[in-house]
A and B are shown apart, each in its own frame.
Chain A
Protein backbone atom coordinates (compact mmCIF):
# COMPACT_ATOMS: atom_id res chain seq x y z
CA UNK A 1 0.00 0.00 0.00
CA UNK A 2 1.40 3.36 -1.01
CA UNK A 3 1.82 5.54 2.05
CA UNK A 4 2.85 8.97 3.11
CA UNK A 5 4.01 9.18 6.71
CA UNK A 6 4.22 12.23 8.90
CA UNK A 7 5.00 12.73 12.56
CA UNK A 8 1.61 13.70 13.98
CA UNK A 9 3.18 15.98 16.57
CA UNK A 10 2.17 18.21 18.13
CA UNK A 11 5.26 20.24 17.29
CA UNK A 12 5.78 23.41 19.27
CA UNK A 13 8.29 26.10 18.39
CA UNK A 14 8.80 29.60 19.78
CA UNK A 15 7.95 32.61 17.69
CA UNK A 16 10.81 33.51 15.34
CA UNK A 17 12.29 30.01 15.29
CA UNK A 18 12.53 27.64 12.34
CA UNK A 19 9.83 24.98 12.22
CA UNK A 20 10.84 21.76 10.45
CA UNK A 21 8.14 19.40 9.23
CA UNK A 22 9.07 16.04 7.76
CA UNK A 23 7.38 13.51 5.55
CA UNK A 24 8.42 10.17 4.04
CA UNK A 25 6.78 8.29 1.21
CA UNK A 26 6.84 4.67 0.14
CA UNK A 27 6.12 4.87 -3.60
CA UNK A 28 9.35 5.46 -5.52
CA UNK A 29 7.23 6.35 -8.54
CA UNK A 30 5.95 9.48 -6.83
CA UNK A 31 6.60 12.45 -9.04
CA UNK A 32 5.44 15.56 -7.24
CA UNK A 33 4.90 16.55 -3.65
CA UNK A 34 2.69 19.05 -1.93
CA UNK A 35 2.35 20.78 1.40
CA UNK A 36 -1.08 21.88 2.51
CA UNK A 37 -1.86 24.02 5.54
CA UNK A 38 -5.11 23.42 7.38
CA UNK A 39 -6.28 25.79 10.06
CA UNK A 40 -8.66 24.39 12.66
CA UNK A 41 -12.16 24.21 11.23
CA UNK A 42 -11.00 25.14 7.73
CA UNK A 43 -10.20 23.24 4.57
CA UNK A 44 -6.65 22.45 3.37
CA UNK A 45 -4.84 25.19 1.46
CA UNK A 46 -1.95 24.45 -0.91
CA UNK A 47 1.14 26.37 0.16
CA UNK A 48 4.06 24.65 -1.59
CA UNK A 49 4.77 22.04 -4.22
CA UNK A 50 8.03 20.53 -5.37
CA UNK A 51 8.96 18.23 -8.25
CA UNK A 52 12.76 18.19 -8.35
CA UNK A 53 15.41 17.14 -5.87
CA UNK A 54 16.74 20.00 -3.80
CA UNK A 55 15.23 23.06 -2.25
CA UNK A 56 12.43 25.34 -3.36
CA UNK A 57 11.93 28.61 -1.54
CA UNK A 58 8.84 30.80 -1.38
CA UNK A 59 9.02 33.61 1.13
CA UNK A 60 9.45 32.14 4.61
CA UNK A 61 8.74 28.61 3.34
CA UNK A 62 11.29 26.18 1.92
CA UNK A 63 10.35 22.75 0.61
CA UNK A 64 13.09 20.15 0.37
CA UNK A 65 12.93 16.94 -1.63
CA UNK A 66 15.31 13.98 -1.53
CA UNK A 67 14.04 11.25 -3.86
CA UNK A 68 16.86 8.86 -3.05
CA UNK A 69 15.88 8.90 0.63
CA UNK A 70 12.18 9.31 -0.14
CA UNK A 71 11.61 12.23 2.12
CA UNK A 72 10.13 15.68 1.80
CA UNK A 73 10.38 18.45 4.33
CA UNK A 74 8.95 21.90 4.88
CA UNK A 75 10.90 24.56 6.71
CA UNK A 76 9.14 27.64 8.02
CA UNK A 77 11.56 30.44 8.91
CA UNK A 78 10.73 33.19 11.38
CA UNK A 79 7.69 31.22 12.56
CA UNK A 80 4.68 33.28 13.53
CA UNK A 81 1.68 32.37 15.73
CA UNK A 82 -0.40 32.62 12.55
CA UNK A 83 1.54 29.62 11.21
CA UNK A 84 -0.09 27.45 13.88
CA UNK A 85 -2.02 24.85 11.91
CA UNK A 86 -1.92 21.25 10.75
CA UNK A 87 0.40 20.69 7.81
CA UNK A 88 -0.46 17.90 5.38
CA UNK A 89 2.10 16.32 3.10
CA UNK A 90 0.87 14.74 -0.13
CA UNK A 91 2.48 12.82 -2.98
CA UNK A 92 1.36 12.32 -6.56
CA UNK A 93 2.05 9.14 -8.45
CA UNK A 94 0.87 8.82 -12.03
CA UNK A 95 -0.33 5.29 -11.40
CA UNK A 96 -2.74 6.43 -8.70
CA UNK A 97 -4.14 9.50 -10.49
CA UNK A 98 -4.77 11.12 -7.13
CA UNK A 99 -2.79 12.54 -4.26
CA UNK A 100 -1.88 10.35 -1.31
CA UNK A 101 -2.04 12.37 1.89
CA UNK A 102 -0.24 11.95 5.16
CA UNK A 103 -2.18 12.28 8.38
CA UNK A 104 -0.71 15.73 9.09
CA UNK A 105 1.56 17.36 11.65
CA UNK A 106 0.05 19.81 14.10
CA UNK A 107 2.29 22.86 14.55
CA UNK A 108 1.94 25.37 17.35
CA UNK A 109 4.02 28.55 17.32
CA UNK A 110 4.24 29.98 20.81
CA UNK A 111 4.26 33.79 21.19
Chain B
Protein backbone atom coordinates (compact mmCIF):
# COMPACT_ATOMS: atom_id res chain seq x y z
CA UNK B 1 0.00 0.00 0.00
CA UNK B 2 0.89 3.65 -0.14
CA UNK B 3 1.55 3.91 3.56
CA UNK B 4 1.73 1.91 6.76
CA UNK B 5 -1.78 0.88 7.73
CA UNK B 6 -2.78 0.11 11.31
CA UNK B 7 -6.04 -1.19 12.64
CA UNK B 8 -8.07 -0.55 14.62
CA UNK B 9 -7.41 3.17 15.02
CA UNK B 10 -9.00 3.09 18.47
CA UNK B 11 -9.62 0.22 20.83
CA UNK B 12 -11.30 0.31 24.22
CA UNK B 13 -11.06 -2.90 26.19
CA UNK B 14 -11.80 -4.10 29.67
CA UNK B 15 -8.98 -4.93 32.04
CA UNK B 16 -8.02 -8.57 31.71
CA UNK B 17 -9.13 -8.99 28.11
CA UNK B 18 -6.77 -9.84 25.25
CA UNK B 19 -6.32 -7.47 22.31
CA UNK B 20 -4.78 -7.78 18.86
CA UNK B 21 -3.38 -4.83 16.97
CA UNK B 22 -2.63 -5.10 13.27
CA UNK B 23 0.01 -3.48 11.08
CA UNK B 24 0.25 -3.67 7.30
CA UNK B 25 3.62 -2.20 6.22
CA UNK B 26 4.51 -0.48 2.99
CA UNK B 27 4.79 -3.06 0.24
CA UNK B 28 8.37 -4.27 -0.13
CA UNK B 29 9.54 -2.94 3.23
CA UNK B 30 11.45 -5.73 4.93
CA UNK B 31 11.83 -4.14 8.35
CA UNK B 32 8.87 -3.64 10.69
CA UNK B 33 8.88 -2.06 14.14
CA UNK B 34 6.42 -1.68 16.97
CA UNK B 35 6.63 1.23 19.40
CA UNK B 36 4.48 2.40 22.26
CA UNK B 37 3.88 6.01 23.19
CA UNK B 38 2.15 6.92 26.42
CA UNK B 39 0.49 10.32 26.75
CA UNK B 40 3.09 13.07 26.62
CA UNK B 41 5.96 10.60 26.54
CA UNK B 42 8.59 9.54 24.03
CA UNK B 43 8.68 6.44 21.87
CA UNK B 44 9.23 3.14 23.63
CA UNK B 45 10.64 0.40 21.38
CA UNK B 46 8.82 -2.92 21.64
CA UNK B 47 9.88 -5.32 18.88
CA UNK B 48 11.58 -5.38 15.47
CA UNK B 49 11.24 -7.77 12.53
CA UNK B 50 13.74 -7.91 9.67
CA UNK B 51 13.00 -10.26 6.79
CA UNK B 52 13.17 -13.88 7.85
CA UNK B 53 15.50 -13.24 10.78
CA UNK B 54 14.48 -13.91 14.35
CA UNK B 55 12.73 -10.83 15.76
CA UNK B 56 14.38 -8.54 18.28
CA UNK B 57 11.99 -8.79 21.23
CA UNK B 58 14.21 -6.91 23.66
CA UNK B 59 11.71 -4.08 24.20
CA UNK B 60 8.65 -6.14 25.11
CA UNK B 61 7.73 -5.06 28.66
CA UNK B 62 6.35 -8.40 29.85
CA UNK B 63 5.42 -11.88 28.66
CA UNK B 64 1.87 -10.64 28.17
CA UNK B 65 3.11 -8.98 25.00
CA UNK B 66 3.86 -10.93 21.84
CA UNK B 67 4.03 -10.23 18.14
CA UNK B 68 4.24 -12.14 14.93
CA UNK B 69 4.77 -11.29 11.34
CA UNK B 70 3.26 -13.58 8.75
CA UNK B 71 4.77 -14.00 5.30
CA UNK B 72 7.16 -11.13 5.87
CA UNK B 73 4.33 -8.65 5.63
CA UNK B 74 1.43 -8.10 8.04
CA UNK B 75 2.23 -8.05 11.75
CA UNK B 76 0.00 -8.56 14.76
CA UNK B 77 0.85 -7.34 18.25
CA UNK B 78 -1.04 -9.24 20.93
CA UNK B 79 -1.47 -8.07 24.50
CA UNK B 80 -2.89 -10.67 26.85
CA UNK B 81 -4.71 -9.92 30.11
CA UNK B 82 -4.56 -6.18 29.49
CA UNK B 83 -3.80 -3.82 32.36
CA UNK B 84 -4.57 -0.14 32.72
CA UNK B 85 -0.89 0.71 32.32
CA UNK B 86 -1.05 -0.78 28.81
CA UNK B 87 -3.14 2.22 27.74
CA UNK B 88 -1.11 4.06 25.12
CA UNK B 89 -0.79 4.67 21.40
CA UNK B 90 0.83 1.71 19.66
CA UNK B 91 2.76 2.75 16.59
CA UNK B 92 3.99 0.54 13.80
CA UNK B 93 6.73 1.61 11.39
CA UNK B 94 8.36 0.02 8.39
CA UNK B 95 11.45 0.66 6.32
CA UNK B 96 13.21 -0.70 3.27
CA UNK B 97 16.61 0.03 4.76
CA UNK B 98 16.66 1.17 8.36
CA UNK B 99 19.49 3.62 7.63
CA UNK B 100 17.02 5.53 5.44
CA UNK B 101 14.58 6.02 8.31
CA UNK B 102 11.14 4.69 9.10
CA UNK B 103 7.63 5.49 7.93
CA UNK B 104 5.12 5.35 10.76
CA UNK B 105 1.52 4.29 10.63
CA UNK B 106 -1.20 6.40 12.20
CA UNK B 107 -1.23 4.25 15.32
CA UNK B 108 -3.76 2.41 17.45
CA UNK B 109 -4.96 4.21 20.56
CA UNK B 110 -5.56 1.55 23.20
CA UNK B 111 -7.58 2.37 26.29
CA UNK B 112 -7.92 -0.22 29.04
CA UNK B 113 -10.82 0.48 31.38
Main secondary structure of the interface of A (DSSP, over half): strand
What number of residue pairs across chains A and B have CB atoms under 8 A from each other? 47
Main secondary structure of the interface of B (DSSP, over half): mixed
Q: Is the CB of A97 within 8 A of B50?
A: yes
Chain B, residues 29-70, CB within 8 Å of chain A (1/0): the string is: 000010000000111010010100000100000000000000
- Point out the residues of chain A lying under 8 angstroms from B102, CB to CB: 46, 99
Q: Is the CB of A49 within 8 A of B104?
A: no
Q: Tell me, yes or no, whether A25 is within 8 Å of chain B by CB.
A: no
Q: How far is B102's CA from A71's CA once the two chains are assembled, in angstroms? A: 21
Q: Is the CB of A97 within 8 A of B103?
A: no
- Point out the residues of chain B lying under 8 angstroms from A94, CB to CB: 99
Q: Is the CB of A43 within 8 A of B105?
A: yes
From 46 to 72 in chain A, residues with beta carbon under 8 angstroms from any chain B beta carbon are: 46, 49
From 69 to 113 in chain B, residues with beta carbon under 8 angstroms from any chain A beta carbon are: 89, 91, 98-107
Q: Is the CB of A43 within 8 A of B56?
A: no
Q: Is the CB of B101 within 8 A of A43?
A: no
A97-B50, A101-B42, A104-B42 are contacts. A34–B101 as well, Cβ < 8 Å? Answer: yes
Q: Interface size bucket, A side?
A: 20 to 34
Q: Interface size bucket, B side?
A: 20 to 34
Q: Is the CB of B56 within 8 A of A98?
A: yes
A92-B99, A97-B98, A98-B33 are contacts. A42–B42 as well, Cβ < 8 Å? Answer: no
Q: How far is B14's CA from A94's CA once the two chains are assembled, in angstroms? A: 40
Q: Is the CB of A31 within 8 A of B103?
A: no
Closest 5 A/B residue pairs (Cβ):
A103-B42, A43-B104, A101-B43, A34-B101, A46-B101
13 A-B pairs within 8 Å (CB atoms) are namely: A32-B100, A34-B101, A36-B104, A43-B106, A45-B104, A46-B103, A92-B99, A94-B99, A97-B56, A98-B45, A98-B98, A101-B42, A103-B41
* B residues whose Cβ falls under 8 Å from a Cβ of A: 33, 41-43, 45, 48, 50, 56, 89, 91, 98-107
